[in-house]
């Protein structure tokens, strides 16, 4: 028994003392822990890459935001044929809290916020950071925008801190844009272990973000600094521009709910909105004054270079999202001409080094007509044909037009036959042109009238657009504050197609419902005009400055395939182009001898030898305008694309009624064609905001609630 006791107690003692050590295991190589990463500058940079990876994600800036969440306007447009609510079409204001795509976006943006919060928290608590900079930098989050007086000592670590903070602001900026008031925190979840941050008023969120960035920006490197990989990395100028963007949004109108009414909504702006415009003006000015940017490259080259994976310092791009070829970004896949490749029938066309593109990001059918003659942006941006899986041009000229700003077809070497998305084409999230125009808009608001400085800023953008010829704003455009605001917004309209800007510009200036109304009416009117004649033609023509009757009167379009012998508007010199012979001006059948006809027009013409192309001009008979049954309408019933593409705000029905959605109720809407302004006065606000996802509400333990009638 004695032996027994000795043995057992000995054994127990031995193992007890060893036990805690035995159970303390470190992860070896599968993953890295905080302590390891944040004690090494190189590793911290790798961790920052993790924040960048969040903005590269297809669920955020890589695809989703510019595809499904680019809300319809007079510029960006996607059609929809469903005559019932689907709940998952944000572009037509048809959303429901249980829609999958809303949840996906919400999750991705908050995942981005958390990754940035986590990085910022750990960097702040890093020994490296503390030792070197404890005395030099304070936590900017609570300073309320007070910029410290001392001269900042910019280091690699403060620069990285700034980059993370700008990206955090990018996520919150989108959350503010789509949801208004949002759950908000600067604290990492792992720091607080709080899974449900409180919903915070959008103004408070904006204030915090602006204060945070104003502070952080001072410790960032200028993009003139050769060691900074600008424009693919976020620079001080990018941070300034982001402040301007946030401030402009904060000072602008947005959809607000009544505290006591979960269904009601209206457009309001903060009472101190001018303070925000002042901040926007000042920070845009800081970028301009820094002098690191110009608009030297032509408009076309800015984008074609991006498509060729060339990032240029000091030109238009201030911050380009650094997508990686074959791994991220759908830019140039979503945009540009559609190119079908049937994966199951890999037809090997030697000229098809580009793979497939979807071409789903498009503009309205009428966008092209809004440009003034001489604006070089028009023929570059507006695309009318795509490619069949035979590699041949196919006219696709229906309710929308391709947005040819970016296309993987512009890449001179091609991305490979089997390539689809993941083009790696960068997207210039912040452009100098945007900064100039933000400056003009803010300055105009602050001063109550256009200043010369503001006019110069706009003209700088216009000079590039018009290739330096006859570009300056007219006196009428700069006569009053209102005229100038319209000029600035118009310039933004032509400059930023596909960049998810237009609807935000309209919301900010409380013009969204008016413009959506007119966009709907343009489609409706043209379709109706073709079919039975429309009373709205004059009204819409007047508003948009386009001769809509001319568009609806067209019956046939004649076009021909030719080799690209140097059309700068179509950057791919290997693919066949499609020349439209009578673009929107005439329905006269061209000569039966196309070569002569083209020669007369001074157009290059070289018949294609492939058997499917006869060398004859073709007419697009499914784009026949004015027939009793055509793409716009079917025997007096307008096409669904016309009726339902703005479903959640305004829609038609098969019986010829136009209905508008007001506070969730669908009401017949009377349009006084004689008094359009009075009609516009009757328009309710557009419910462009999205509902919180059902799941977020269900799991919030009652903290979150949907308003706006969701």
Partner 1 sequence: MSVYFKSISRTVLVLCMLLIVGNAYAQTVAKGTVTDSNGEAVIGATVVEKGNPKNAAVTDFDGNFTIKVPASKKLVISYIGMVTQEVAAGSNLKIVLQDDNAALDEVVVVGYTSKARKDLTGSVGSVSGAKLAVVPVSSAAEALQGKIAGVQITTVDGQPGADINIRVRGATSVTQSNQPLFIVDGFQVDNINDIPPTDIASIDVLKDASLTAIYGAKGGNGVVVVTTKSAKTGKVQVSFNGRLSVSSLARSMSQMNTFEFVDYQYDRAAANGNRSSWAKPFRGDFGNPKDISLYRNEATRDWQDEVLGNHPVNYSSNVTIGGGNETTRFNLSLTQSEDKGIILGSGVRRTNINLKLNTKITKNLEFTYNPKISYRRDEGAGGDNIGSGGLIDVLRYRPTAGLREWGSYEEMENEADASKFRLTNPVNDIQTNTQKKHGYTITNQFALKWSPIKGLVLRSEGNYTLGFRDTERFYGWQTGMAQSAINNSKPVAVLNKKNSESYTWTNTASYDLTLQDKHNLSFLLGQEIYHSQYKENQQAAHLFDQNIDAETALNNMALGQPYAEETYTKRSTANRTASFFGQVSYNYQHKYLISGTFRADGSTKFAPGNQWGYFPSISGAWVINKEKFLKDVKWIDQLKLRAAFGLAGNNNIDDDLWRYLYTTNATGGPAFGEATVGGELYYGAPGNYPNKDIKWETTITRNLAMDISLFGGRLSITPEIYWNTTRDLLYKSTIPSVSGYQKQMQNIGKVANNGWELTVNGDIVRGKDYVVSGNFTLGHNKMTIKKLNASDGNTPLYNTASKWKSSIENDYVMQVGGELGLFYGFVYDGLYNWDEFTYPETDSYIATPNNKATLNGMLIGGTVTDGYEGNTGNGIFSSSNSGYSTLPGKIKLKDLNGDGQIDQKDMTVIGNTNPKWQGGFGLSGQWKNFDFTANFTYMLDFDVYNATAFAMSSSSKSQYNFFNVDSKFANKRWRYTAPEGFVDNDGHNITGETLYKNIYINGALGLYKNLNANASLWNPADVINNVMFSYFVEDGSFLRCTDVTVGYTLPNLITKKFGIEKVRAYVSASNLFILTSYSGYDPEVDVQSGLTPSMDYNRYPRSRTFSFGLNVTF
Q: Which of residues 656-695 bind partner 1 (CB under 8 A)?
A: 693, 695
Does position 40 interact with partner 1 (CB under 8 A)? The reply is no
What is the nearest approach in angstroms of partner 1 to the Cβ of residue 16? 8
CA 492 vs CA 498, 603, 642: distances in Å: 11, 32, 26
Q: Decide whether 338 or 514 has the Cβ nearer to partner 1.
A: 338
Cβ(428)–Cβ(302) below 8 Å: yes
Does position 204 interact with partner 1 (CB under 8 A)? The reply is no
What is the nearest approach in angstroms of partner 1 to the Cβ of residue 99? 8
What is the nearest approach in angstroms of partner 1 to the Cβ of residue 381? 21
Does position 648 interact with partner 1 (CB under 8 A)? The reply is no
Which DSSP symbol is given to 658? E
Does position 56 interact with partner 1 (CB under 8 A)? The reply is yes
Does position 309 interact with partner 1 (CB under 8 A)? The reply is yes
DSSP string over 296-356: -S-HHHHHHHHHTT---SSSSEEEEE---TTTS--TTTSSSS-B---TTS----TT--S--
SS3 21: helix
Q: Decide whether 16 or 476 has the Cβ nearer to partner 1.
A: 16
Q: Decide whether 17 or 135 has the Cβ nearer to partner 1.
A: 17
What is the nearest approach in angstroms of partner 1 to the Cβ of residue 604? 26
* Residue 640 φ/ψ, nearest 5 degrees: -60, -35
**Of the candidates 7, 533, 545, 654, which one interacts with partner 1 according to CB under 8 A?**
7
Does position 313 interact with partner 1 (CB under 8 A)? The reply is no
**Of the candidates 132, 274, 360, 463, which one interacts with partner 1 according to CB under 8 A?**
360
Q: Which of residues 584-603 bind partner 1 (CB under 8 A)?
A: none
Q: Decide whether 172 or 276 has the Cβ nearer to partner 1.
A: 172
Rounded Cα–Cα distance for residues 232 and 428 (Å): 9
What is the nearest approach in angstroms of partner 1 to the Cβ of residue 172? 12
Helices 236-251 and 273-290, axial angle in degrees (round to 10): 160
Counting residues that bind partner 1 (by CB under 8 A) gives 105
Does position 344 interact with partner 1 (CB under 8 A)? The reply is yes
Structure-token match 């959303």, residue found: 95
Biggest alpha carbon–alpha carbon distance for the chain: 118
Q: Decide whether 205 or 280 has the Cβ nearer to partner 1.
A: 205
What is the nearest approach in angstroms of partner 1 to the Cβ of residue 659? 19
* Residue 47 φ/ψ, nearest 5 degrees: -65, -40
**Of the candidates 23, 226, 259, 476, which one interacts with partner 1 according to CB under 8 A?**
23
Does position 452 interact with partner 1 (CB under 8 A)? The reply is no
Does position 394 interact with partner 1 (CB under 8 A)? The reply is no
What is the nearest approach in angstroms of partner 1 to the Cβ of residue 340? 11
**Of the candidates 84, 260, 350, 668, which one interacts with partner 1 according to CB under 8 A?**
84
Q: In sequence order, what are the beta bridge partners of 254?
A: 268
* Residue 125 φ/ψ, nearest 5 degrees: -95, 5
**Of the candidates 40, 107, 451, 591, which one interacts with partner 1 according to CB under 8 A?**
107
What is the nearest approach in angstroms of partner 1 to the Cβ of residue 669? 25
Does position 292 interact with partner 1 (CB under 8 A)? The reply is no
- Which tokens sit at 11? 């054994």
Does position 347 interact with partner 1 (CB under 8 A)? The reply is yes
**Of the candidates 595, 599, 678, 698, which one interacts with partner 1 according to CB under 8 A?**
698
Does position 115 interact with partner 1 (CB under 8 A)? The reply is yes
**Of the candidates 157, 205, 330, 433, which one interacts with partner 1 according to CB under 8 A?**
330
Cβ(197)–Cβ(182) below 8 Å: no
**Of the candidates 104, 574, 662, 682, which one interacts with partner 1 according to CB under 8 A?**
104
Q: Which of residues 459-478 bind partner 1 (CB under 8 A)?
A: none
Does position 113 interact with partner 1 (CB under 8 A)? The reply is yes
Using the Cα atoms of residue 668, residue 673, residue 678 and residue 679 in order, give the sign of their dihedral. positive
CA 17 vs CA 12, 25, 200, 312: distances in Å: 9, 16, 51, 63
SS (H, E, C) 158-218: HHHHHHHHHHHHHHHHHHHHHHCCEECCCCCHHHHCCCCCCEECHHHHHHHHHHHHHHHHC
Does position 90 interact with partner 1 (CB under 8 A)? The reply is no
Cβ(708)–Cβ(691) below 8 Å: yes
- Which tokens sit at 89? 């079409």
SS3 609: coil
**Of the candidates 143, 268, 390, 662, which one interacts with partner 1 according to CB under 8 A?**
390
**Of the candidates 127, 372, 593, 699, which one interacts with partner 1 according to CB under 8 A?**
699
Rounded Cα–Cα distance for residues 541 and 524 (Å): 13
Rounded Cα–Cα distance for residues 230 and 631 (Å): 47
Q: Decide whether 8 or 678 has the Cβ nearer to partner 1.
A: 8
**Of the candidates 127, 135, 147, 190, which one interacts with partner 1 according to CB under 8 A?**
190
Does position 118 interact with partner 1 (CB under 8 A)? The reply is yes
Cβ(563)–Cβ(577) below 8 Å: yes
Does position 86 interact with partner 1 (CB under 8 A)? The reply is yes
Rounded Cα–Cα distance for residues 515 and 73 (Å): 7
Nearest alpha carbon to residue 254 among 504, 496, 481? 504
Cβ(221)–Cβ(235) below 8 Å: yes
Does position 269 interact with partner 1 (CB under 8 A)? The reply is no
Q: Which of residues 418-447 bind partner 1 (CB under 8 A)?
A: 418-421, 424, 426
**Of the candidates 46, 125, 153, 627, which one interacts with partner 1 according to CB under 8 A?**
46
Q: Which of residues 209-238 bind partner 1 (CB under 8 A)?
A: 229, 232-233
């Amino acid at each position: 028994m004695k032996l027994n006791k000795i043995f057992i107690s000995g054994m127990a003692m031995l193992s007890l003392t060893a036990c805690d050590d035995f159970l303390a295991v470190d992860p070896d190589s599968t993953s890295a822990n905080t302590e390891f990463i944040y004690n090494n500058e190189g590793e911290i940079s790798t961790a920052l890459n993790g924040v960048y990876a969040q903005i590269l994600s297809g669920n955020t800036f890589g695809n989703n935001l510019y595809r499904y969440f680019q809300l319809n306007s007079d510029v960006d447009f996607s059609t929809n044929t469903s005559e019932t609510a689907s709940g998952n079409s944000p572009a037509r204001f048809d959303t429901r809290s249980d829609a999958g795509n809303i949840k996906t976006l919400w999750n991705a943006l908050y995942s981005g916020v958390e990754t940035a919060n986590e990085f910022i928290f750990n960097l702040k608590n890093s020994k490296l950071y503390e030792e070197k900079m404890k005395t030099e930098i304070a936590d900017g989050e609570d300073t309320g925008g007070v910029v410290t007086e001392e001269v900042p000592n910019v280091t690699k670590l403060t620069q990285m801190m700034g980059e993370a903070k700008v990206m955090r602001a990018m996520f919150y900026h989108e959350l503010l844009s789509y949801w208004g008031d949002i759950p908000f925190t600067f604290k990492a979840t792992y720091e607080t272990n709080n899974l449900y941050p409180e919903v915070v008023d959008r103004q408070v969120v904006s204030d915090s973000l602006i204060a945070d960035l104003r502070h952080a920006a001072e410790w960032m490197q200028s993009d003139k600094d050769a060691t900074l990989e600008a424009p693919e990395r976020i620079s001080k100028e990018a941070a300034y521009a982001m402040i301007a963007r946030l401030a402009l949004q904060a000072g602008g109108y947005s959809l607000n709910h009544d505290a006591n009414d979960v269904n009601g909504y209206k457009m309001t702006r903060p009472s101190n909105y001018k303070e925000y415009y002042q901040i926007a003006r000042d920070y845009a000015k800081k970028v301009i004054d820094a002098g690191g940017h110009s608009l030297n490259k032509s408009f076309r080259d800015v984008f074609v270079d991006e498509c060729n994976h060339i990032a240029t310092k000091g030109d238009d791009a201030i911050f380009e999202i650094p997508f990686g070829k074959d791994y991220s970004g759908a830019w140039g896949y979503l945009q540009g001409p559609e190119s079908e490749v049937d994966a199951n029938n890999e037809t090997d066309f030697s000229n098809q080094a580009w793979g497939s593109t979807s071409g789903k990001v498009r503009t309205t059918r009428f966008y092209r007509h809004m440009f003034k003659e001489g604006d070089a942006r028009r023929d570059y941006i507006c695309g009318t044909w795509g490619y069949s899986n035979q590699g041949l041009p196919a006219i696709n000229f229906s309710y929308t037009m391709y947005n040819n700003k970016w296309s993987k077809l512009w890449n001179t070497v091609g991305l490979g036959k089997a390539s689809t998305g993941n083009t790696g084409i960068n997207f210039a999230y912040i452009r100098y042109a945007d900064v100039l125009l933000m400056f003009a808009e803010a300055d105009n608001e602050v001063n109550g009238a256009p200043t010369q400085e503001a006019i110069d800023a706009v003209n700088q953008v216009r000079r590039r657009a018009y290739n330096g010829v006859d570009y300056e704003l007219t006196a009428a455009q700069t006569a009053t504050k209102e005229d100038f605001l319209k000029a600035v917004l118009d310039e933004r309209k032509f400059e930023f197609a596909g960049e998810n800007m237009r609807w935000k510009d309209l919301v900010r200036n409380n013009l969204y419902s008016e413009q959506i109304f007119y966009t709907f009416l343009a489609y409706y009117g043209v379709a109706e005009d073709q079919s039975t004649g429309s009373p709205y033609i004059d009204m819409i023509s007047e508003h948009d400055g386009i001769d809509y009757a001319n568009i609806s009167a067209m019956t046939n379009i004649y076009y021909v395939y030719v080799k690209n012998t140097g059309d700068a508007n179509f950057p791919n010199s290997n693919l066949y182009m499609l020349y439209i012979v009578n673009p929107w001006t005439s329905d006269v059948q061209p000569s039966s001898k196309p070569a002569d006809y083209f020669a007369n027009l001074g157009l290059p013409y070289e018949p294609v030898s492939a058997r499917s192309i006869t060398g004859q001009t073709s007419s697009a008979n499914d784009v026949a305008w004015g027939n009793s049954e055509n793409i716009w309408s079917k025997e007096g019933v307008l096409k669904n694309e016309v009726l339902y593409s703005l479903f959640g705000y305004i829609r038609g029905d098969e019986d010829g009624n136009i209905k508008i959605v007001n506070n969730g109720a669908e009401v017949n809407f009377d349009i006084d064609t004689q008094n359009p302004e009075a009609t516009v006065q009757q328009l309710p606000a557009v419910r462009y905001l999205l509902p919180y996802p059902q799941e977020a509400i269900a799991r919030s333990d009652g903290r979150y609630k949907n308003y706006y009638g969701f």
